[in-house]
Amino acid sequence: MKSIYPLIIAAVAATSASAETPLYLNPDAPIEDRVEDALSRMTLEEKVALCHAQSKFSSAGVPRLGIPELWMSDGPHGVRPEINWNDWGHARWTNDSCTAFPALTALAATWNPALSAAYGKNVGEEARYREKDVLLGPGVNIYRTPLNGRNFEYMGEDPWLASVMVVPYVQELQKNGVAACVKHFALNNQERWRGNINVDVSDRALYEIYLPAFKAAVQQGGAWTVMGAYNKVWNQHCCHNQRLLEDILRGEWGFDGAVITDWGGAHDTREAALNGLDIEMGSFTNGLTSESEFTYDDYYLARPFLELIRKGEVPESTADDKARRILRLIFRTAMNTRKPFGSLHSPEHYAAAKAIGDESIVLLKNSGILPLDPAAGKRILVVGDNATRVLTNGGGSSELKVKDYISPLDGITAVFGADNVDYARGYAAGPPMYDRDEPVPASVQDSLRAEAVALAAGADVVIYVGGLNKNAFQDCEGQDRTGYGLPFGQDELIEALVKANPNIVIANISGNAYAMPWADRVPAILHSSYLGTMGGASIADVLAGRVNPSGKLPYSIPVRLEDCAAHSFGVDSYPGVESESGDVLFGVCAPQQRYEEDLLVGYRWHDTKKVPARYAFGHGLSYTAFAYGKPVLSAKEMTAEGDKLTVTVPVTNTGSREGAEVVQLYIGDDKASVLRPVKELKGFEKVTLAPGETRDVTFTVTPEMLAFFDAGAHAWRTEPGTFTLYLGGSSAFTPAKAKFKLK
């Protein structure tokens, strides 16, 4: 925990020779004036010292001037337990537990920006209480392949959804005086070979798919920091990539914050000095486990940077520019005297986590078995390792040490009664591990399966809680999944359970899509991401009907892996080609990768190529039903010069209970001069309706929503023609349609 006393003493010493308080210490002065005043008092050595780590999770301030250090913590689902000063071991504090909020895939599945704001506010309060200045999140990399080990940390496959959801998170987080660090910029869409894979992507795909959420976080959210990605783009590492950091982030978007490396993401002093990197963290480690003999003074932006300046090979202005941005960050966070005190795992935080979890659960299928009536007294058998596993452990840097954790079995038992609930593990998944996947002996799995199947035959209902976990090669930083199916023989187990008892509810937990070969043979499927501290209560309340499910998929679930666009072009597209030798995290190989699917990511591929998904992007059922009426346009034509029109669609709850529907607006260009998807998400609104209630939902359509990126002109362009508006409950269910012309 940081102490303010050394800072007070240093500040007094720095000002004792003057009758007036220096401008930079005046909290009422404009930040830019304070930055320039502080900079004018600093030595070159002090400027350079700001630019690199001094420990695993802190960077230096200017002690002589009373300017404090910066403390960072992994996120974005909660504040990571304390790590030792100079190694990756846990510090074993007793006061660093936290609230585990649902994963960002779960947040995206709510399709509710108000809950994103609540998320940012509450996790920011915990970070502030723990005296963190920078929370390393949120993540907004696009879901390109269901094999990506870190998809659970991101906000799905669509740039519009991710853009809308990231802004309130950033805004509310930073009201606590804690900087958001939006990551991983950019194109960090897989973990395999993440440290050195070189991505080749078209400018259209870059600007239309992979950059919009980052741009929204910067320009609308006002993010104070951005984290560079591990990978290369255009043969240059992202953490010191001239085009990404200087041309786009600062030049085109006007970003005034600091760029921080991912841990171990810097590779070259000259590039780091000249290409926009500000704070270098974790160099000469793999960002997770390995250590090195290098000291912090050996970092690329430490002594080597200072020597380049002294030799005249790099101008001192580069250090000035970095110091300005870092000082600006310090004044916004560590030296912000008006920030609130924060709080830790409070009832309000638990309530926010529960609300997000409630709205994130997606009901994929229901033949009528759900909801289950707790008063019916039925014998319930819960099967599955995830029913009891603490799913906040493992996963890499997103690990959390929770004060409380309600497992699915805990939640189900509390709602349905201990006398009515039995449990069988069904399969073994092994302990959480970052870098290896320990096989479980077949004899153990066979025994667990036989026990579960035998008990299932005597139950009234089976609730299966399996899926993925945070082990290596699942939903885990550092590795991608090795296959699309469920691990540990779960598909075979589910098939055997269905034969023993057809009254089965699949309630799997996963941060990714996965194969469901049994989908046609089970009566109900719930899809949850990692829901954190209150997750078991959310799952149980949805099963019992206390909460009417309203989550919608933030990514498509293909039938087969080959139906996913990234996997339709061979190894050139995923995972890339070249030698596979080297460390699993940061290998010595130099693989090359081409995003062959270009714009057609997720539902854009399924729609345009007519490859149906098993469950479409935006899909999610309710315990009630909704009907869409005929949409009404405010005009049949619009011009490209600042014009706009509105479309209004009536939505009716035709069922017998209150429920929420996410009304989704997609727009398609009927005939274009370039390849365009059949339709693209351009708006959504979540509305809660009583039985029989009808509400008009209105969207505004602007010319900007119709534009595509013209790579040749490096500009957004619209073309005249006819456009179709698609309105409905998923990308595959858009019963309300209307057309208009752009003149």
Domains assigned to the chain: 5-332 (3.20.20.300), 361-544 (3.40.50.1700), 624-742 (2.60.40.10)
> 523 near 74, Cβ under 8 Å?
no
Separation between Cα atoms, residue 308 and residue 268, nearest integer Å: 12
Separation between Cα atoms, residue 157 and residue 512, nearest integer Å: 11
pLDDT of residue 589: 63
pLDDT of residue 641: 84
| DSSP 8-state secondary structure symbol assigned to residue 103 | P
Percent of the chain with pLDDT over 70: 96
> Tokens standing for 624?
């009630």
In the structure, what pLDDT confidence band is assigned to residue 291 with cuts at 50, 70 and 90?
confident
Query: Looking at residues 291-305, what average pLDDT do you find?
Result: 93
Q: pLDDT by residue (tens digit) across 501-556?
A: 999 999 999 999 999 999 999 999 999 999 999 999 999 999 999 999 999 999 99
> Considering only CA atoms, which of 217, 131, 103 is closest in space to residue 170?
217
Question: Is the pLDDT confidence value at 13 over 60?
Answer: no
Query: Looking at residues 606-625, what average pLDDT do you find?
Result: 98
Separation between Cα atoms, residue 532 and residue 190, nearest integer Å: 24
Catalytic residue status for 373: no
pLDDT of residue 10: 46
Percent of the chain with pLDDT over 90: 91
> Considering only CA atoms, which of 133, 228, 142 is closest in space to residue 173?
133
Q: What is the DSSP string of 23-83?
A: GGG-TTS-HHHHHHHHHHT--HHHHHHTTBBSSSSEE--BGGGTBPPEEEEE-SSSPPPPB
Question: Is the pLDDT confidence value at 322 over 60?
Answer: yes
Separation between Cα atoms, residue 517 and residue 535, nearest integer Å: 26
pLDDT of residue 579: 57
Q: How many CA atoms lie within 13 A of 149 on its CB side?
A: 26
Q: pLDDT by residue (tens digit) across 214-223?
A: 999 999 999 9
Establish whether the linkage from the previous residue to 371 is cis, with ω within 30° of 0: yes
Q: Please name the residues in contact with 415: beta carbons below 8 A apart, sequence gap of 6 or more.
A: 374, 540, 541, 543, 544, 546
pLDDT of residue 288: 85
pLDDT of residue 430: 81
Computed over every residue of the chain, the mean pLDDT equals 94
In the structure, what pLDDT confidence band is assigned to residue 431 with cuts at 50, 70 and 90?
confident
Separation between Cα atoms, residue 218 and residue 703, nearest integer Å: 22
Q: pLDDT by residue (tens digit) across 89-112?
A: 999 999 999 999 999 999 999 999
In the structure, what pLDDT confidence band is assigned to residue 20 with cuts at 50, 70 and 90?
confident
pLDDT of residue 16: 45
Q: Which residue of the set 96, 133, 262, 607 is catalytic?
A: 262
Question: Is the pLDDT confidence value at 200 over 50?
Answer: yes
| DSSP 8-state secondary structure symbol assigned to residue 733 | B
Query: Looking at residues 26-49, what average pLDDT do you find?
Result: 97
128 burial class (0-12, 13-18, 19+ CB within 10 angstroms)?
Answer: buried
Separation between Cα atoms, residue 369 and residue 371, nearest integer Å: 6
> Tokens standing for 706?
């119709």
> 675 near 711, Cβ under 8 Å?
no
Query: Looking at residues 378-403, what average pLDDT do you find?
Result: 95
pLDDT of residue 432: 73
| DSSP 8-state secondary structure symbol assigned to residue 288 | S
In the structure, what pLDDT confidence band is assigned to residue 588 with cuts at 50, 70 and 90?
low
CA diameter of the chain: 85
> 603 near 557, Cβ under 8 Å?
no
Q: What angle do CA 69, 72, 78 make, to 5 degrees?
A: 150
Exposure string of 328-363, with b = 16+ CB inside 10 Å and e = fewer, is bbbbbbbbbeebeebebbeeebbebbbbbbbbbbbb
pLDDT of residue 286: 81
In the structure, what pLDDT confidence band is assigned to residue 6 with cuts at 50, 70 and 90?
very low
Separation between Cα atoms, residue 527 and residue 78, nearest integer Å: 22
> Considering only CA atoms, which of 698, 569, 588 is closest in space to residue 645?
698
Question: Is the pLDDT confidence value at 653 over 80?
Answer: yes
Separation between Cα atoms, residue 569 and residue 576, nearest integer Å: 11
Question: Is the pLDDT confidence value at 14 over 90?
Answer: no
Torsion sign over Cα 497, 500, 502, 505? negative
Task: Look up tokens 């034969």; give the residue.
Answer: 499
Task: Look up tokens 């007036």; give the residue.
Answer: 20
Question: Is the pLDDT confidence value at 587 over 60?
Answer: no
> Tokens standing for 662?
């996410």
Q: Please name the residues in contact with 92: beta carbons below 8 A apart, sequence gap of 6 or more.
A: none
> Considering only CA atoms, which of 601, 632, 638 is closest in space to residue 718?
638
Separation between Cα atoms, residue 354 and residue 535, nearest integer Å: 7
Exposure string of 585-622, with b = 16+ CB inside 10 Å and e = fewer, is bbbebebebbbbbbbbbbbbbbbbeebebbbbbbbbbb
Does residue 435 sit in helix, strand or coil?
A: coil
Separation between Cα atoms, residue 489 and residue 514, nearest integer Å: 13
By residue count, the chain amounts to 743
Question: Is the pLDDT confidence value at 8 over 60?
Answer: no
pLDDT of residue 171: 98
**Confidence (pTM):** 0.95
pLDDT of residue 12: 47
> 231 near 200, Cβ under 8 Å?
no
Does residue 251 sit in helix, strand or coil?
A: helix
> 390 near 370, Cβ under 8 Å?
no
Query: Looking at residues 191-195, what average pLDDT do you find?
Result: 94
Does residue 507 sit in helix, strand or coil?
A: strand
Question: Is the pLDDT confidence value at 380 over 50?
Answer: yes
Torsion sign over Cα 520, 522, 523, 525? negative
